[in-house]
Amino acid sequence: MKTFETDGLTLEQVAPFTWEIEQTGGMNVPARVLASESLLEEIADDKSLEQLQNVAHLPGIESPALAMPDAHQGYGFPVGGVAAISAEDGVISPGGVGYDINCLAGDSEVVLSFGRRRQIEDLAPDFATENARVIGDRPIDSSIQLFTTDEKPVVEVATETGDRIEASPDHPFRTPDGMVTVEELQEGDTVSVHPFEGLPDETPPAKTVLTAEDFADEDPQLVRALEKRDLLPLKTDDDAFNHLLKLLGFHTGDGSFSGSQTWFYGDPADLESIQDDIEALGFTPSKIYERERTHTIDGESFERTEYSVRATASSVAALLKRLGAPEGRKVESTFGVPAFLDQLAGWQQALYLSAFFGAEMSRPDTASATNFYAPTVSHNRLERVESAGKDFLTALKSLLGDLGIETNEIETVERTERAGGTSVRFRFGVSSTPDNLIRFFTRVGYRYNEAKQKRALQAAQYLKAKERHIQLRASIANEAATLADGGEPIGSIEDRFDAVNRRFLERSIYDQREGRPRPAADFPDFETFADRHPVAEDMTIPVEIASITSAGTKPVYDIGVEHDAHNFVANGFVVSNCGVRMIRTNLTREDLAGKEEQLVDALFEAVPSGLGAGGVIQGTTSTIESILDRGMQWALEEGYAVESDLEHCEDNGFREEADPSMVSEEAKNRGRKQIGSLGSGNHFLEVQEVTDVYEEEVADAFGLEPNQLVVLIHCGSRGLGHQVCTDYLRKIEKRHGDLLESLPDRELAAAPAGSELAAEYYGAMNAAINFAWVNRQLITYQTRQTFAEVFDRDWQDMEMDLLYDVAHNIAKKETHEIDGEEKELYVHRKGATRAFPAGHPDVPEQYRDVGQPVIIPGSMGAGSYVLRGGEHSMERSFGSTAHGAGRLMSRTQAKQEFWGEDVQEELESRDHIYVRAQSGATIAEEAPGVYKDIDEVIRVSKELGIGDPVARTFPVLNIKG
């Protein structure tokens, strides 16, 4: 019998295209791969075979654990894996449906909104109410939608600037070439860091700052406007209060009142951030104004462009004044630091301080090539209110001290005679010791001043690099002195250390250097460092990895954010954070000629795509409950579907076992914003041409013929389904930890059949399946409307009927014959497709004589196939076959191998395929060369009799998620 050897593993060919791994150790059944030799070689290139063996350990699994011809590495289960498990005494596994987790060590500190930081493990209780710092076009806050935990081997990544983080090898890190997993990085590679770390996330005191009584002398309409926006009563633990602290700090420096209007002055980009905060309070800011102003200082006149924005609502001015914003001429005012600041959490104090410093503090600047001046605050008051000015600066110094920031003494810089009286200028600085400056720049910094903040973050990274360099030299100096004391000659010591020269060693050994060594002569000055480490518009800085070392196995955690950048900031590093249907038409390729770009652009506009994309509709709580409960029946009732759509869905587009009450509020909230969206990854909408028909009778039953246009839609339950997996994995870890400990991979986490948790998960999963059908139906609805507009015909006239909709990632209760006995099983199909043969009662009546339609997408350049369930599918694969071509390389590798714009250009010029996507990286990730040979996958399916090819289609237009 033929065998296949790979990495110490032997697979025996037990039948044509059937390779078996012997049942050994804790495996309950053998593991079997359905593939040709060429496909098997590709499957063996990753961890698919190891994962398949692990699946065979699951309790109650029936022989064998299967991998389809398109199998590739997944999480827990291989993608393309099929496992049939007893519904009586087995388990049901979220990992067998689809799950993705890559994690950070628990002490990794995540930057949250308002400059707070918290260890990721401490986010568990309230992550759904938190917002994390996301790096998009600029730093922005985004709601956290999921929280996951696991236990995994981790590595420590350290950079040239001393940044450190522990992460699982599969965790993606931001690099100049996009997201790259740690296991694909090495020393000398570059990662992007966002050095601002913020302050610990203390709970602010719940104190009332303002009530309606404080506005007794105002128009009652103003009070009603504030109450309507939940700004009265105003408490210190309100989010609105935090926005006000920033506006108050900046306005104290660079703001003014004009009647009932509030003005802020700054650069346009900074004023946009102020606009955002005004909007966050519920008010509409003005546009950004621009005007030329003439200024005179010490008799010298000059012109400059002044930019400003205003809040026109009188209630904004009233709020800021009562919070302590100075009125009139500040130089003659007695204003001070608001008294309530002393009682706030440190991060809240920093909101006020950093905004004031953004307006009034000097930018970071060098006193010499490698050292910095103390950033200073200058402040002017007339002599008659001199004490108030000094008290103001004293209070600022005190607040900084409470935050661990050292300052210099206040000095009186000058007294100047002016028309209104003698003006006194005070000044103090932030102590310029490196550690102190790093703390200030990374914990407080400059809000509403992008230029100063960029310079501060760059300076912090430089000082960290310099400190790491000096520490290394100090360590070498100490070790050299110790070796010399032990009698080792200096020549031998010199051979040990490449990082220093002989003169340095001699001084360390003989001259008894006082204090720490200075930087080496070749250590770059700040300006050179800044050129090599530019700050991007998104406030990230490229730095080199100094080391990657194993850190053992630890509890690990991950979060996911709503924002489509899909990342978050931890320890300064930027890290990351289905099914298919076919629609027929009576159009031909010739009907589309000349309209390709019009149609692809219209579809791209009509169908939301990409990470975090909104949906066709924004559902209410009631809407999402109805969708989860009734699936396609809801779409029919709401006018998004017709009766024939339901007839041509697997299970008529409705799982009666669905239980919306078992779906968490977090999952429902995620789904509510994404109803009718493609998502990302390998999800797509594709207009295709039928190029080949292999079985005319079956094709006729399916309504397919050569030259016909069809539409393929591949997507799933979006964030809702992911959250369901997340929720139940956490529950399984808590309730069935003993079972988890007995499995070879924690990502196989499973609940015992018959248990309360198994029933809860099955109800939630079926609700997610209902959601997925509706998601694809709303995309279908948009597609039909778009075709109608472009071709100026009703969609019914174009016979845009649903051929079939089948799930790809699912665990279903099905009855199969095992050893001559009918048995109820949980059939897990992870990246596999149901493929029931002719005559099966679950096949729609219209197709029952020929078999269930099976839709297998290929790559953008290789086409797709329509199959029918093969006559041997029940006995050989539990009624399953492949679900696609199967990946050959990771998304990261794909982006390294391909350039999205080149792929797009080549597809259009060579194959006349028009592709649209949210980014070039998305196209690169799905380039034709990324996938296995779809023709070989289909050939194996046919030879095994688990899926027979009926027709082939080739892409014309493609919308990528």
- Give residues with Cβ within 8 angstroms of 830, minimum separation 6: 74, 77, 78, 79, 80, 81, 82, 95, 96, 97, 98, 809
Distance CA 106, CA 129 (A): 19
So what's the pLDDT on residue 682? 63
* pLDDT value of residue 101: 45
b/e string for 275-286 if b means 16 or more Cβ within 10 A? bebbeebbbebb
DSSP bridge pairs for 805: 581, 649
* Report for 152-161, 400-409, 913-922: range of highest mean pLDDT: 400-409
Quick one: pLDDT at residue 212? 96
Would you kindly state where each structural domain of the chain is located, as residue ranges? 3-73, 104-194+538-576, 208-448, 451-532, 579-960
Structure tokens at 303: 């012109």
Residue 929: what pLDDT? 66
For the record, the structure tokens of 783 come out as 């597609």
CATH placement of domain 579-960: 3.90.1860.10
3-class secondary-structure state, position 864: strand
Are both 208-448 and 579-960 of the same fold?
no
The one-letter code for the residue type at 61 is I
Residue 396: what pLDDT? 98
Q: Give pLDDT tens digits for 768-814.
A: 899 889 989 999 999 999 999 999 999 999 999 999 998 777 888 89
Asked whether the beta carbons of 77 and 811 are under 8 A apart, the reply is no
pLDDT interval class at 440 (50, 70, 90): very high
Tokens describing residue 376: 């200073």
Can you say how many angstroms the Cα of residue 756 is from the centroid of all Cα atoms in its chain?
32
pLDDT score for 36: 93
Asked if residue 474 has pLDDT above 60, the reply is yes
Confidence of residue 940 (pLDDT cuts 50, 70, 90): very high
d(CA 382, CA 697): 96
Which residues sit opposite 15 in a β-bridge?
18
Confidence band for 290, pLDDT divided at 50, 70 and 90: very high
User: pLDDT category, 671, cuts 50, 70, 90?
Assistant: confident
Q: Residue 206 in contact with residue 236, Cβ under 8 Å? A: yes
Tell me the C-alpha distance between 5 and 21, whole Å: 11
Annotated binding-site residue numbers: 100, 682-686, 714, 808-809, 857-860, 864, 883-886, 960
List, for residues 181-232, the tens digit of each pLDDT value. 787 789 999 999 999 999 999 999 999 999 999 999 999 999 999 999 999 9
Amino acid 809: pLDDT:
77
Only one residue has tokens 């250009």, namely 905
Q: Give the contacts of 1 (CB within 8 A, at least 6 positions apart).
A: 12, 13, 14
Which backbone phi and psi does 705 adopt, to 5 degrees? -150, 160
Beta strands 31-34 and 65-72, pairing class? parallel
Q: What is the mean pLDDT of residues 343-348?
A: 97
Region of 820 on the Ramachandran plot (φ > 0 left; ψ -120 to 50 alpha; else beta): left
For residue 694, give the DSSP letter: S
Does 577 score more than 50 pLDDT?
no
- Residue the block writes with tokens 């019914």: 796
Question: What confidence score (pLDDT) does residue 955 get?
Answer: 87
Q: How far is CA 420 from CA 294, 329, 331, 383, 389, in A?
A: 20, 11, 10, 10, 16
**pLDDT value of residue 505:** 87
| Share of residues in the chain with pLDDT > 70 (%) | 90
Q: Answer yes or no: is pLDDT of 298 > 70.
A: no
String of DSSP letters for 19-42: EEE---TT-SS-EEEE--HHHHHH
Evaluate if residue 247 carries a pLDDT over 50: yes
User: Environment class of residue 8 by beta-carbon count within 10 Å: exposed (0-12), middle (13-18) or buried (19+)?
Assistant: exposed
- Tell me, what's the pLDDT at 99? 46
Distance of CA 409 to the CA centre of its chain: 45
Q: Is 668 helix (H, G, I), strand (E, B) or coil?
A: helix
Strands (E), 744-870: 751-752, 802-807, 809-818, 821-830, 832-834, 853-856, 864-869
According to the model, what pLDDT value does residue 181 have? 74
Residue 560 has pLDDT above 70, yes or no: no
Domain 104-194+538-576 has CATH 3.40.50.1220: no
Closest CA to 717 of 757, 782, 663: 663
Which pairs count as long-range contacts for 475-483, CB under 8 Å and 24+ apart, including other chains? 476/500, 476/504, 476/505, 476/508, 477/504, 477/505, 477/508, 477/513, 477/517, 478/508, 480/505, 480/508, 480/509, 481/508, 481/509
pLDDT at residue 612 in the model: 46
**What angle in degrees, to the nearest 10, is found between the helix axes of 596-606 and 756-791?**
140
Give residue 464's pLDDT: 95
- For residue 894, the model assigns a pLDDT of 61
Please give the pLDDT value at position 918.
60
Confidence of residue 737 (pLDDT cuts 50, 70, 90): confident
What are the tokens at 503? 């003169």
pLDDT at 917: 66
* pLDDT for 525: 95
- The pLDDT assigned to 161 comes to 92
Q: Is the pLDDT of residue 342 over 70?
A: yes
pLDDT band at 65, cuts 50/70/90?
very high
The first and second tokens of residue 308, run together, are: 């400003």
> How far is 472 from 828, CA to CA, in rounded Å?
54
Which residue shows structure tokens 């559902």? 619
What digits encode the pLDDT tens for the residues 347-385? 999 999 999 999 999 999 999 999 999 999 999 999 999
Structure token digits, residue 253: 């420096």
72: confidence class by pLDDT, cuts 50, 70, 90: confident
Residue 909's pLDDT is 66
Element (H, E) at 157: strand 139-159
Helix (H, G, I), strand (E, B) or coil at 206: coil
Rounded CA separation 741/745 (Å): 9
Cis ω for the linkage preceding 169 (within 30 of 0) = no
CA distance 111 to 116: 6
900 vs 451, more confident: 451
Amino acid at position 258, single letter: S
The average pLDDT across 238-255 equals 97
The pLDDT score that the predictor gives to residue 735 is 86
Please give the residue that has the higher pLDDT: either 885 or 134.
134
The count of other CB atoms within 10 Å of the CB of residue 564 is 17
CB 466 within 8 A of CB 519: yes
Separation of alpha carbons 246 and 240, rounded Å: 10
User: Which parts of 571-639 are beta strand (E)?
Assistant: 573-576, 579-588
Report the length, in residues, of the chain.
961
> 778 near 616, Cβ under 8 Å?
yes
Per-residue CA distances from 754 to 91, 419, 741 (Å): 8, 88, 20
488 dihedral zone (left: phi>0; alpha: psi -120 to 50; beta): beta
Nearest to 160 by CA among 635, 585, 529: 529
Q: Check if the beta carbon of residue 552 is closer than 8 Å to that of residue 152.
A: no
Residue 423 CB-half CA count within 13 A: 14
Residue carrying structure tokens 């034709």: 928
- Which pLDDT does position 925 carry in this prediction? 64
pLDDT at 684: 78
CATH topology of domain 208-448: Endonuclease I-creI (3.10.28)
Give the Å distances, CA to CA, from 181 to 258, 632, 787. 54, 38, 40
Backbone phi, then psi, for 679, in 5-degree steps?
Answer: 85, -145
Please classify residue 376 by burial: count the beta carbons closer than 10 Å to its beta carbon, then call 0-12 exposed, 13-18 middle and 19+ buried: middle
Which residues are designated catalytic?
Answer: 883
Average pLDDT, the chain: 88
Alpha-carbon span 915 to 927, nearest angstrom: 11
pLDDT tens by residue, 850-873: 999 999 988 767 789 999 999 999
Q: In this predicted structure, which of 420-434, 466-480, 806-820 has the lowest mean pLDDT?
A: 806-820
| Confidence label for 100 from pLDDT (cuts 50, 70 and 90) | very low
Residue 919: pLDDT above 70? no
